[in-house]
A = this chain, B = another copy of it.
């Protein structure tokens, strides 16, 4: 139930702050393999997850909000909370 409440809270925050976070991505050809470059500044690397399913890739992760420790935000554009993105492998 706590998890459900947290998800709900994230959804409310997402609605309040201009939509979900969609990190930009590049695919790069490194000869023997593909490289995925993903813009996720401030995301805890331990929160990142990759999941492949039938030629598609889901990347997800989470960024903590920047407020805290008596340092409130005065204006806010940077998205926080969880993101999840479905990517196709390049041709």
Contact = CB atoms under 8 A, between A and B. Distances in A.
A72 interface: yes
Nearest to A40: B41
A73 interface: yes
A27 B67 CA distance: 10
A71 B29 contact: yes
Chain A interface: which size bin? 20 to 34
Contacts of A91: 74
Contacts of A31: 70-71
Given A25-B77, A27-B73, A75-B90, 7 more contacts: A25-B75, A25-B78, A26-B77, A29-B72, A31-B71, A39-B41, A41-B41
